[in-house]
């Protein structure tokens, strides 16, 4: 049985939520392996919209096991609020269908406060974070002062963890003119939330290993996109975790042999939320039109997304970095009715042509897109479920993208609805 990793091949917001939900019908287990509640996955099922941030998308399907792996940073209060919201929409969430890794680090209110304070101090140079404490929580994890989920069940250990954590954070807060955190108040908050979180806690790596040995199909659900990866993205305008396919193994406690197929979710144009370089960005009516038709607003932040032409250079780079087996091309229908389309095939930087986006911040900023112009189509592709439903020029556009990114289209999404998918190759069939 194949195990599939789903990752974003651009700057996030590619439509991973719908694709993961669609694939989860074929899976037994769905696991998140990085990020936190800065992620935003929107599912539309029978006209009902679900907005998920931390809970794996597979949880909306009955009889599926959802897991939050050790690579995720967890805000326990945000998680409980999300669980309550989803339950209010008629979805059952219990310790039987949701597990949280005991070694996952916690996001605390002090992390969020630090995140916001830093962004405010940076002013125009801000990174564009969601302000939810993700980065500071990962910093504490790496610095070995984090409080982890399993610590909630050991009050005596909490005293030691809190003391070490506040030795660092209170020094920072004094330097920024902020009030210090009271250790006993923080402990009281954690003791209060512990009985609500601990029933969901489990040994995720062990349960995943058992699932693999029993022939279960595992779907690894990524958040954000490759160009936001802490190592391979447009640094420093990136997230604080590795979002690439290799992290699926590390962030869930599995070996690399657990990954059989890497599916790169890829939007038929390009969007980005927040600051940072964006070579194919359109600051004109075309860009605004894409945003309006595509309802391009961040699921997590509500911020309008920056929109631009499809960047084949970035996606090809993502294909290589992730070892992408095939892509799921989303939002093709948003391009309906456009007479002319452009695809970025290279960059001109300081008079030199590049076939990749360099790591240099200056070169990224100076990158000018080299475009290939293609014919658009007047017909509607919305709701198409087979190649026969697609205009010939739309198929030509898809085939050219495949050539440029050096990866085949495995799935094609033609609307937000769950079943509006053209299946070319089932990732779980490998």
Cβ 372 vs Cβ 406: under 8 Å = no
CA distances to 63, 80, 131 from 99, rounded to whole Å, are 14, 13, 26
Q: In what order do the strands lie in the sheet with 201-202?
A: 201-202, 98-101, 65-68, 29-32, 218-221, 4-8, 261-267, 326-330, 409-413, 421-423
Determine whether 356 is an active site residue: no
Would the pTM of this model clear 0.85, i.e. be above it? yes
Q: How many CA atoms lie within 13 A of 389 on its CB side?
A: 16
The residue written with tokens 């997304």 in the block is 305
pLDDT digits (tens, 9 = 90+) for 49-67: 888 899 998 888 888 999 9
Token pair in block for residue 113: 């406060």
**Backbone conformation region of residue 376, classed left if phi is above 0, alpha if psi is from -120 to 50, else beta:** beta
% the chain with pLDDT above 70: 97
Q: Annotated catalytic residue: which of 13, 140, 151, 333? A: 13
Q: Is the pLDDT of residue 339 over 90?
A: yes
CA distances to 48, 100, 324, 412 from 383, rounded to whole Å, are 17, 36, 26, 10
Q: Annotated catalytic residue: which of 41, 111, 169, 232? A: 41
48 or 159, which is more confident: 159
Q: Is the pLDDT of residue 123 over 80?
A: no
| Omega prior to 390 cis, within 30 of 0 | no
The residue written with tokens 């610095």 in the block is 143
357 DSSP β-pair partners: none
Token pair in block for residue 284: 């004109």
Give the least confident one: 4-8, 28-32, 47-51, 349-353: 47-51
Determine whether 295 is an active site residue: no
Predicted confidence band at 126 (pLDDT cuts at 50, 70, 90)? low
Q: Is the pLDDT of residue 273 over 70?
A: yes
Cβ atoms within 10 A of the Cβ of 217, count? 20
Token pair in block for residue 313: 């250079």
């Amino acid at each position: 049985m194949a195990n599939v990793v789903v990752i974003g091949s651009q700057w996030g917001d590619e439509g991973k939520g719908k694709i993961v939900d669609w694939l989860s019908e074929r899976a037994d287990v769905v696991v998140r392996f990085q990020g936190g509640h800065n992620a935003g996955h929107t599912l539309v099922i029978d006209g009902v919209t679900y907005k998920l941030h931390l809970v794996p998308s597979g949880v909306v399907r009955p009889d599926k096991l959802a897991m939050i792996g050790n690579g995720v940073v967890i805000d326990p209060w945000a998680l409980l609020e999300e669980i309550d919201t989803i339950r209010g929409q008629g979805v059952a969430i219990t310790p039987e269908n949701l597990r949280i890794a005991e070694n996952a680090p916690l996001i605390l209110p002090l992390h969020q406060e630090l995140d916001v304070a830093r962004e405010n101090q940076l002013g125009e140079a801000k990174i564009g974070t969601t302000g939810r404490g993700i980065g500071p929580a990962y910093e504490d994890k790496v610095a070995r002062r984090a409080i982890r989920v399993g610590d909630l069940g050991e009050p005596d250990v909490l005293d030691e963890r809190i003391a070490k954590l506040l030795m660092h954070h209170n020094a920072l807060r004094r330097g920024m003119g902020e009030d210090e955190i009271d250790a006993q108040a923080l402990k009281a908050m954690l003791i209060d939330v512990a009985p609500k979180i601990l029933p969901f806690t489990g040994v995720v790596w062990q349960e995943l290993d058992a699932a693999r040995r029993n022939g279960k199909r595992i779907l690894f659900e990524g958040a954000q996109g490759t160009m936001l990866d802490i190592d391979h993205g447009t640094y420093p305008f990136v997230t604080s975790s590795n979002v690439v396919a290799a992290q699926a193994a590390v962030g869930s406690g599995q070996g690399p042999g657990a990954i059989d197929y890497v599916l790169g979710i890829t939007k038929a144009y390009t969007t980005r939320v927040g600051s940072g370089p964006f070579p194919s960005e359109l600051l004109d009516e075309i860009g605004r039109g894409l945003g309006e038709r595509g309802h391009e607003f961040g699921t997590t932040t509500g911020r309008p997304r920056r929109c631009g032409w499809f960047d084949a250079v970035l996606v090809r780079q993502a294909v290589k970095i992730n070892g992408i087996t095939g892509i799921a091309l989303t939002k093709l229908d948003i391009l309906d009715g456009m007479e002319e389309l452009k695809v970025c095939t290279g960059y001109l930087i300081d008079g030199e042509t590049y076939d990749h986006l360099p790591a240099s911040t200056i070169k990224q900023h100076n990158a000018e897109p080299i475009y290939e112009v293609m014919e658009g189509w007047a017909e509607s592709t919305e709701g198409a479920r087979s190649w026969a439903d697609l205009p010939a020029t739309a198929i030509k556009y898809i085939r050219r993208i495949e050539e440029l990114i050096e990866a085949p289209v495995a799935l094609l999404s033609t609307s937000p609805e769950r079943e509006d998918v053209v299946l070319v190759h089932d990732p779980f069939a490998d």
